[in-house]
Amino acid sequence: MSQDSKQAYESIEQVSKSQRGLLIILIAGFIAFLVWSAVSPLDVVSMANGSVEPVNKVQTIQHLEGGIVRKILVQEGQHVVKGEALVELETTSSGSSYGEMLSRVNSLTADKVRLQAEVQGADKLVFDEAFAQANPQLVTRSEALFYARRDQLLSALQAQQEEMNVRQQTIKEIATRIQFSEERLKLVKEQNAIEKELLSNALSNRYDHLNSLKELNQLESDIAEGKASLAKSKASFAQAQSNLKSIQDKYNEEVNASLSDTRSQLDEGMQRLKKFKDSLERTVLRAPMDGIIKNRYVVTEGGVVAPGGTVIDMVPGKDGLVVEAKLPPQDVGHIQQGQEAFIQLASGEASHYGRLTGTVASISPDTITTEEGEVYYTVRLILDQDFFLKGSNRYKLSPGVLVTAGIVTGQRSVLEYILSPFVQSLPFALSER
């Protein structure tokens, strides 16, 4: 073999060795790729656009009676806390009605305390300390009336008692006279019997005997008149005693009737007062929960709010947030409650904020069609946290933020993903029309 041929053969053999090494590397790499693609999982995800919404929908704040706007205290987009005043209405009618009814209720309350004390026969009135401090004039007036009525009753009872005492004294005097006359009558009768015997024996004259008979008749007449007067006086005493009881009974009856009527009026007044108080309190519209003012339908002070009119729309701020995503109808068969999901901001900077995780909470039972003809199912996602982190900065979600949601419906390998177009077309590969 010539020297040139030998060099050419060695050159070809070196090239063949290089090609074989490259081929081995390619085959090994391909096999490694197949192994990796067969074991490496990929999430199967259904994508849907959506927005962040409060768990409870937007709260509409209305006013029952309506009225004239006195003061507007909040602006759209402002954060408010539960109970914070939002809008004030004029209180002309409701305020005066409440004040008048409050005065009426306080007056009836004072009357009730006074009448209860009169029924119980108390020596003084005892008012609630807070009531007494708030209504000193009512307390003073009630005490004056209480003592005046008590003195009037005591005066009437005392006058009747004095009359009874007079009747009782008269009875005693008449009884004493009758007793004296009866004792005198016994003596006169004995004297008359002696004189009669003396007259029969001619030891006395008839004139003396007639005087004795005259005194006897007078005593008997006095005793009869005394007994009649005694009966009349006893009847008068009984009547005076009855009158005394009647005064007290009539007083108690009148007081009990007044107390019953006062209680009835007070109960009615309390109900009306509560109604007026509620109406007065409603002149100040307050936030029913923490949240954000979304829309304000009154823009000028002095404006009119119609009865039942909407004044403010509020987005709840501390009731939690969910994502409401619009799921294409073709994906609904793969979605069920409890599946894992992720969301990211629907903006060009989404990659800077990363993702938030969550789970599927519910799926609407039917499709929703918009005016533009878009058809979708509403899927609600519960988030594990309501903020993104970008470095040390926290981006907190709020209602209305647009997001993109991905719902994990399963997993498959990279190899299955690559081969899926070919596998899906195989059933139709050997058929023709």
Asked whether the predicted pLDDT for residue 223 surpasses 70, the reply is yes
* Cβ partners under 8 Å of residue 424, min gap 6: none
| Closest to 279 (Cα-Cα) out of 42, 96, 19 | 96
C-alpha distances in angstroms, 130 versus 125, 134, 430?
15, 6, 97
In three-state secondary structure terms, 296 is strand
Q: What is the pLDDT of residue 414?
A: 47
* Cβ partners under 8 Å of residue 216, min gap 6: 185, 188, 189, 192
Q: Where are the alpha helices (DSSP H) in 290-373?
A: 350-353
Q: CA 397 to CA 337: how far, in whole Å? A: 23
Query: Chain-wide mean pLDDT for the chain?
Result: 78
> Which carries the bigger pLDDT value, residue 94 or residue 347?
347
CA 81 to chain CA centroid, Å, is 19
The answer for 289, left when phi > 0, alpha when psi is -120 to 50, beta otherwise, is: beta
Sequence letter at residue 110: A
* Cβ partners under 8 Å of residue 66, min gap 6: 304, 305, 306, 307, 308, 309
**pLDDT tens digit sequence for 293-302:** 888 888 888 8
The domains located in the chain, with CATH, are 37-55+320-430 (2.40.30.170), 59-90+283-316 (2.40.50.100), 95-282 (1.10.287)
Q: CA 287 to CA 279: how far, in whole Å? A: 16
Helix, strand, coil tally for the chain in percent (to 5): 55, 25, 20
Number of alpha carbons in the 13 Å side-chain half-sphere of residue 395:
14
Query: From start to end of 284-339, where are the E strands?
Result: 284-286, 291-296, 304-305, 310-316, 321-327
Q: CA 216 to CA 358: how far, in whole Å? A: 128
Q: Which of 41-55, 63-77, 125-139, 277-291 is least confident?
A: 41-55
Q: Which two tokens stand for residue 96?
A: 């005066």
Residue 142 φ then ψ, to 5°: -65, -40
Q: What is the pLDDT of residue 280?
A: 74
| Closest to 86 (Cα-Cα) out of 238, 310, 271 | 310
User: How far is it between the farthest Cα atoms of the chain?
Assistant: 227
Q: Which of 32-36, 59-63, 306-310, 371-375 is least confident?
A: 32-36
Q: What is the DSSP letter of 123?
A: S
Number of alpha carbons in the 13 Å side-chain half-sphere of residue 406:
13
Burial class (CB in 10 A: 0-12, 13-18, 19+), 212: buried
Average pLDDT, integer, range 36-43 = 53
- When pLDDT is cut at 50, 70 and 90, the band that residue 137 belongs to is very high
Asked whether the predicted pLDDT for residue 155 surpasses 70, the reply is yes
In three-state secondary structure terms, 377 is strand
Q: Do residues 380 and 48 touch, judged by C-beta distance below 8 A?
A: no
Q: What is the pLDDT of residue 234?
A: 81
Number of alpha carbons in the 13 Å side-chain half-sphere of residue 26:
6
Rg of the chain (C-alpha set): 56
Q: What is the pLDDT of residue 261?
A: 93
Asked whether the predicted pLDDT for residue 192 surpasses 90, the reply is no
